[in-house]
Structure formats: C-alpha cells, structure tokens
Amino acid sequence: MMTMHKAYITAVGTYLPEKILSNLDLEKLVDTSDEWIISRTGMRERHIARDDEFTSDMGANAARVALDRAGMKVDDIDVIIVATLSPDYAFPSTACLIQSTLGAKNAAAFDIQAACTGMVYAMAVAKSFIESGMYKNILIVASEKLSSITDYQDRNTCILFGDGAAACIVQGEGPGLEIGKVSLGADGDQSTLLLLPAGGCRNPATKETVEKRMHYLKMDGKEIFRHAVRRMESAAIECIHQSGLKETDIAYLVPHQANLRIIDAIAKRCKIDDDRVIKVVELYGNTSASSIGLALEKLVVENRIKDKDHLLLVAFGAGLTWGSLILTARGDFTL
Ligand code: ACO
C-alpha cells in the first residue's frame, strides 16, 4: 500500500536590506504626502536593496537563516523552489543562482512565477513533492528587488513597493506547520491590469521602450484592488470550508501585504478579529512574493503559535493569480 507522507514547514527565515525609504523620502521624489500614503495604504516605510545587492543575494541570506533554524545542512536540500517576479536574469533561474551561493550541490532548482501569489504556489508544489515521496527536504525562497522595476516618477505605484526575502524549509516530518488544504486560481484574461510591459519577447529592449519607461511595472490600482478583495475572500472561504473548518477555527490570518485596506477587508469578510491578523505592510510595504513569508516569520518569531492552531494564508497578484492554504501547528513549533 502506498504511504502518504505529510508536508511540514519546519523553519522560516527572512532578510531585509538595511536602507529604508520612508514616506517623507517619497515626498521628495513625487507629488504625494505621508498622510495620503498612510490613509490609502497603511504604509510608512519600505526597505530598499543596495545597487550591488540582488534578488538571489537576499534570497540566499533568508535561506541561510531558515536552514540554521531547521538545523539542516546545505547538502541535505533536495530541491530549491524560488518565487519571484524580479529575478536576477530572465534566465538562468534565480533558484540556480541561490543553489550556487549556498553550495547546495545535491539540490535541483527552479523558479515559480506567480507574482505575489508565488510563495503560496511554491508551498503547494512542495507539499505535492513531499506527499508523493519524491523529495524529503525542500527549500522555498521568495525574494524580490521590486525597486529595480519600480518607476520612481510614477506616484501611483512607487509608494507601494519594497525589497526583501523570506524562506522556509518544508520536510516530511514535524514538528512544524502541516500544509493542509490548498486552493489556487488564476485569470489570465486580466493580465494587463498589472504587468511589466517590456523586456520579454513581445517588447524586447529598444531605445524606444526605455524612453517610454516600459521596463517599469504598470498597474491599474483601482481594478487590482477590486479583484484582490474578491479573489482573496473566495479563495480563503473555499479553503476554510473544504478543510471542514469554520471561520472561528482560524487562529491567525496571514495575508499578502499589498495594502492595509485590502487586508482589513479580507479579515472582515472572513470574520477574523484584528488581533489575529498578521500585518507587516506598515514597515515593509508590498514586497510581492516575499510578503506572506515576512508576515509568517513575524508570527513565528513572536512565539504566538500553539499546538493545533490553524493558520490561514491568502495571497493575490499579477496574472491574475490567487491562492490560499491552511497550515496546522503539529507539536511544539518554535524556532
Ligand atoms: N499621492 C497622492 N495622490 C495620489 C497618489 C499618491 N501617491 N497616487 C494616486 N493619487 C491620486 C490619484 O491621482 C487620484 O487623483 P484624482 O482623483 O485627481 O485622479 C487620487 O489620488 C485617488 O486615486 P485612486 O487610484 O482612486 O486611489 P485609491 O484609493 O484607489 O488608492 C492604491 C490607490 C493605493 C494604488 C489602491 O488602488 C491600491 O492599493 N490598489 C491595489 C494595489 C495592489 O494591491 N497592488 C498589488 C497587488 S499584486 C502585487 O502585489 C504585485
């Protein structure tokens, strides 16, 4: 009879670059104000990588913290999955660069591109690898240098984004956070609402694409907001109910950190009290794929998770993509 293995997140780690870009700094770049940014987004500051610090560097730093906390040797990593929309190169993958930086010579390596939902998609893939028995020790890294694709002349977008990385170790044995029910979705019909227009084969780099600032991300904020609330709510509710749980069974909501108003709307719709909602958007801004990992680490570091607690993760991003999953604490899950 085939044995079904279970997948557990056994450690998390993060890395944030030192430099901070505050709302007051942004006031000097574009026509905006601290008050406008706080009231519309809940953001006060975000971290920005150095010119010589890249997505793979930040990802490797977060990975080292997670490996250390898991007490795992680099040689034991079977596969590295990286979630990013701001890779060092179009190819090779950022996962291969991180494999090289860490010296993880026994690991397979590949990237996932699901924008801000990338880490949730990566957790779903890791769960399948573990449950099928294909791999035992998986390193997931989410890392973004969004400052490299943000137009600091566009006040509609430049106030939102920050840089940073998060990592987690997924293994076939606990104690840890068991990855339970997963709900993923996508709607490519809405792909133009948030995209990086140039640099791919459709609009290769030319003098014209650079002059038209097409190598910076473009977003229809209002429409994205509307879709984000609707999609995250339905993914979260579907995940809760398909797990046989009720909204009141959720100990913590760990949402993608795109905007405080979006987070509050999801929490309200999922009937989760404010003190059980994990928020890091105020200090980190929107770090795309990394944001849910940064929020999860905050919860873990604060030692608030108790045995059998159910955590609800929910994310939304370009694509459009969305996803939700339930993590259940098994055993004494501390660092
Ligand atoms: N400072 C001051 N005024 C501004 C700024 C700014 N930084 N940005 C826009 N405005 C102005 C607009 O020009 C507009 O002026 P107008 O009425 O004269 O035209 C006014 O403020 C209102 O603009 P709205 O777009 O209606 O503002 P809104 O309340 O929708 O907030 C925001 C904008 C914050 C971008 C919001 O729409 C949002 O958060 N959207 C979702 C963003 C998101 O989640 N993105 C990422 C998801 S996927 C991923 O994470 C990669």
Q: Is the CB of 36 under 6 A from ligand 1?
A: yes
Angle at 54 between CA 14 and CA 97, to 5 degrees: 85
Residue 239: active-site member: no
Can you say whether the dihedral through the CA atoms of 155, 32, 29, 260 is positive or negative? negative
Residues in the chain, pLDDT under 50: none
What pLDDT was estimated at residue 69? 95
Given this model, what pLDDT does residue 214 score? Answer: 97
Give pLDDT, residue 335: 56
Which ligand 1 atom is the nearest neighbour of the CA of 26? 7
The answer to whether the CB of 222 is under 6 A from ligand 1 is: yes
Domains of the chain: 8-175 (3.40.47.10), 180-330 (3.40.47.10)
Residue of 84, 33, 151, 154 lying closest to 92 (CA atoms) = 84
What pLDDT is attached to residue 334?
67
| 3-class DSSP state of 1 | coil
Residue 174 confidence (pLDDT): 86
194 lines ligand 1 (CB under 6 A): yes
CB atoms within 10 A of CB 273: 10
Q: Which ligand 1 atom is nearest residue 41's CA?
A: 34
Strand partners, 330: 176
SS3 186: strand
Is there an atom of ligand 1 within 6 Å of 43 CB? no
Model pTM score: 0.96
